[in-house]
Amino acid sequence: MMRYFISVRRAWCLGLCMLFLGTAQAQPWRLSSELPDAAAYGVNLEMSDLSQVRAWLDAGLDPDFLADRIGTGLMFAAWFGDIPMMELLVARGADVNKVNALGESALMHAAWRGKLAAVRWLLAKGARVDSGPMRWSALHYAVFAGHWEVANQLLLSGADINARSTNGSSVLMMAVYEGHEPIVRRLLARGADTGIRNDRGDGALEWAFKFQRLGIARLVADPSEFSLAANRPKAGWGRPQRSQAAEKTPAEEPAATAQATPADELADKIRELDSLRDTLASRGLTESVKKMDTRIATLRAQRARADREHTPAAVLEISASRASPEDQRMRIIFGTDGAPP
């Protein structure tokens, strides 16, 4: 009996030693004190690996070190709504108001992703609710992404409902752009200004008609404004009013005053979506980028068709001499007004 007990005890000790050795062999890569590169940092943040991030911070890692995507560790944690990671980084000195190369803060990332708990946590830690004049704000992001609970929290915390982005677009315009009618209603109930226009001359009403959101158009305009807008030629909607150079040659004048065409409107929309695509790509949103690429490709095909429809009609003329039939001449004759010559 004693011999059996000793054998079992030896087996148990051996198993415990094996387990310890196995754990010791598995842990060094996770608890490395060697400071990470941006990619390794991003991977461990995404895995919510508190132990490894803590070990790196203990080894001297800057709490505002930039990951390979999104921005600092705090921005990354806010993106995923990882409050324990946020607590660790802020406790070690991370700046809650630091911005990345795109001017985005941790609060803006949490708002974009609809992470309400993370938004509240950041606000409680002193995150600025507004970004300043003519800057994208967390409220812009929340409304654009359709997260009303987050938007409401930001408004209750003092966010400027009429904040304007870098190109002058309002928060209300973001809701119109994405067709978030319930949010449009709530913003209007809170006093959102329907008269704001961006630096291209577009406002909430222009965007509502441009993107064929007539229900929203009725909300952002009184009946007389809506009726007046609805009676305008469709080709005139959404045409941006770009700033003109101080000096213009006579040759440029016809192009500047030419009537907008459907192809022009599509070109403007493609440019807007290209800009949005770049923003999504910078955040690593691969699936969203793929969907946006499909949408842009469809619009480009529509633009090509519109270009063909508005190209002046042409006739191919072939002439030859009876004396020399092989001596042929060809020319293309275009109609001056788009009609056959």
Burial of residue 110 (number of CB atoms within 10 Å: 0-12, 13-18, 19+): buried
Q: Do the domains 132-237 and 31-128 match in fold?
A: yes
How is residue 236 written in tokens? Answer: 């005139």
CATH code of the domain occupying 31-128: 1.25.40.20
Residue 318 main-chain phi, psi, to 5 deg = -120, 125
Yes or no: say if 281 and 273 are a contact pair by the CB < 8 Å rule.
no
Mean pLDDT, rounded, for 243-251:
35
CATH code of the domain occupying 132-237: 1.25.40.20
**Local structure of 9: helix, strand or coil:** helix
How is residue 285 written in tokens? Answer: 């949103």
Maximum mean pLDDT: which of 5-9, 208-212, 319-323 = 208-212
pLDDT tens readout for residues 67-117: 999 999 999 999 999 999 999 999 999 999 999 999 999 999 999 999 999
pLDDT tens readout for residues 183-242: 999 999 999 999 999 999 999 999 999 999 999 999 999 998 998 888 877 655 654 333
* pTM across the whole model: 0.64
Yes or no: say if 313 and 334 are a contact pair by the CB < 8 Å rule.
yes
Mean pLDDT, rounded, for 38-51:
95
41 band by pLDDT with thresholds 50, 70 and 90:
very high
Res 248: pLDDT: 36
Is residue 34 predicted with pLDDT exceeding 60? Answer: yes
* DSSP-derived secondary structure letter, 186: H
Is residue 243 predicted with pLDDT exceeding 50? Answer: no
Domain segments of the chain: what residues?
A: 31-128, 132-237
Res 339: pLDDT: 39
CA 208-211-214 angle, 5° bins? 50
Yes or no: say if 315 and 341 are a contact pair by the CB < 8 Å rule.
yes
